[in-house]
Amino acid sequence: MRIDRLIRFPHYPLSFLSLCLCGFSFRGAIMNLHHPVTVGGVELPGNLFLAPVAGYSDAAFRSLCYGEGADLCYTEMVSSEGLARNHPKTRALLARAENETRYAIQLFGSKPEVLAQACRELLAYRPAIVDLNCGCPVPKIVRSGAGSALMRDPGLLARIVAAMAEALGPAGVPVTVKIRSGWDEGSLNYLEVASRAVEAGAAAVTLHARTRAQGYSGSADWGQVAALARELRVPVFGSGDVSGAEAPARMIGQTGCAGVMVARGAMGDPFFFRAAIAALEGRPAAPPTVAARAEAARRHLGLAVAFLGERTACVEFRKHFCSYTKGTAGGAALRSEAVRASTQAEFEALLGRWAG
Ligand SMILES: Cc1cc2nc3c(=O)[nH]c(=O)nc-3n(C[C@H](O)[C@H](O)[C@H](O)COP(=O)(O)O)c2cc1C
């Protein structure tokens, strides 16, 4: 049995995979779970991605994640209606950092013709991938028929994907979808929704294995990721409860998914990518020092100021500061000051104290 077959069909020798993930070798070679993935005609160099995270996965943070080895980073969700109206705040979400040689843009909306028009406009930004949000549980988004509301209307979801694929196909940009398990426990329709999306032209599917009713609490059901990976002929990416550097390797080992998206596990921790890729490749990785983490936060703030201006960047950075310092000695006292900080110099002083 070849190792690549073991990776594709992990349900066969799960115990074997577990041994490899614990560091055992097979004929002297550690299994490498970090590998390129092809989405449509686009080859991604690896299979560990920063998920779309509204309020967090902006150009500044994506830039740091790419610097630490992320294979693809998704923008925050972008309104297709906002693009149609040329809303400046919507356009600002499409800012791209210098080291972003590839990026994925996530759109939300509920009208096929508006999403198709948005896709045509996005071509100017040269995205690697355009993703459709079918998972946002926020009431305002759901009321508009977008986000996780699409899980209740697979026909509309398929029409949207087809319209997006028609707009992007000639330029060779694949459409992907990010779905949830279902609307609630009583309607777990991810297999049907994903199949409809693929029939309509989706080149990959990400499953956040929670229902809309769960929001972001409770456990993600990785068994559903495994079931979807067995079902589809396109790559399946897993999302949900990816926390700790060993989690992506565990998720791939347990589910056979082609790649992993990390969201909350990477907030305030761009080093997550370096550590998780090392784990996927069966290598050890030294944890970053506090000084290195503070330096990353300083660079993050500097980029945010360049993109957003000092005032907005500093307000936004308060939550990032809390993420960076979470769980560190003396962090709580610094955070209580950070929530009032409003200039780059104030944050620099706090970061200096954190680094010691
Ligand atoms: C604050 C926040 C914002 C999010 N924004 C988006 C978004 O814009 N688009 C999207 O598809 N998912 C979004 N998500 C969901 C994440 O991409 C991810 O699927 C989810 O958090 C599960 O992963 P985790 O358990 O590793 O955090 C968001 C999650 C959080 C916590």
Supply the mean pLDDT for the chain.
92
Instruction: Examine the pLDDT at 205 and tell me if it is beyond 90.
Output: yes
8 A C-beta contact, residue 280 and residue 266: no
CB of residue 263 inside a 6 A radius of ligand 1: yes
Instruction: Examine the pLDDT at 27 and tell me if it is beyond 60.
Output: no
**202-222 average pLDDT score:** 98
Candidates 334, 332, 333, 329; CA nearest to 350 is 334
Q: Give the percent of the chain with pLDDT over 90.
A: 90
**205-211 average pLDDT score:** 98
| Residue 119 falls in the annotated catalytic set | no
Instruction: Examine the pLDDT at 264 and tell me if it is beyond 70.
Output: yes
Q: How confident is the model at residue 258 (pLDDT cuts 50, 70, 90)?
A: very high
Question: Which of 73, 136, 257, 314 does the annotation list as catalytic?
Answer: 136
CB of residue 58 inside a 6 A radius of ligand 1: no
More confident residue, 14 or 187: 187
Instruction: Examine the pLDDT at 200 and tell me if it is beyond 80.
Output: yes
Which residue of 50, 208, 320 sits with most ligand 1 atoms within 8 Å of its CB, as the best mutation to test the pocket?
A: 208
Distance from the CA of 216 to the center of ligand 1, in angstroms? 8
**41-53 average pLDDT score:** 98
Instruction: Examine the pLDDT at 7 and tell me if it is beyond 80.
Output: no
Which residue's entry shows tokens 């759901």?
Answer: 142
What pLDDT does 20 receive? 44
Candidates 65, 61, 63, 165; CA nearest to 107 is 165
Instruction: Examine the pLDDT at 22 and tell me if it is beyond 60.
Output: no
Amino acid letter, 208? H
* CATH for the stretch 290-355: 1.10.1200
Characterize 281-307 residue by residue with b for buried, 16 or more Cβ atoms within 10 angstroms of its Cβ, and e for exposed.
bbeeeeebebeebbebbbebbebbbeb
Q: How confident is the model at residue 25 (pLDDT cuts 50, 70, 90)?
A: very low
Question: What CATH superfamily is the domain 32-280?
Answer: Aldolase class I (3.20.20.70)
β-strand pairing of 37-39 with 42-44: antiparallel
First to last CA, the chain: 53
Taking every pair of C-alpha atoms in the chain, what is the biggest distance, in angstroms? 59
Q: Give the percent of the chain with pLDDT over 70.
A: 92
Residue 173 carries which DSSP code? P
Q: Where are the domains of the chain?
A: 32-280, 290-355
What pLDDT does 356 receive? 84
Candidates 237, 314, 330; CA nearest to 50 is 237
Q: Which burial class, exposed, middle or buried, applies to 99 when counting CB atoms under 10 A from its CB (0-12, 13-18, 19+)?
A: exposed
What pLDDT does 8 receive? 38
Instruction: Examine the pLDDT at 113 and tell me if it is beyond 80.
Output: yes
**327-353 average pLDDT score:** 95
Q: How confident is the model at residue 30 (pLDDT cuts 50, 70, 90)?
A: low
CB of residue 75 inside a 6 A radius of ligand 1: no
Query: For the segment 277-314, what is each residue's pLDDT rounded down to a tens digit?
Result: 999 999 999 999 999 999 999 999 999 999 999 999 99
Distance from the CA of 15 to the center of ligand 1, in angstroms? 31
Instruction: Examine the pLDDT at 201 and tell me if it is beyond 90.
Output: yes
H or E element at residue 84: helix 80-84
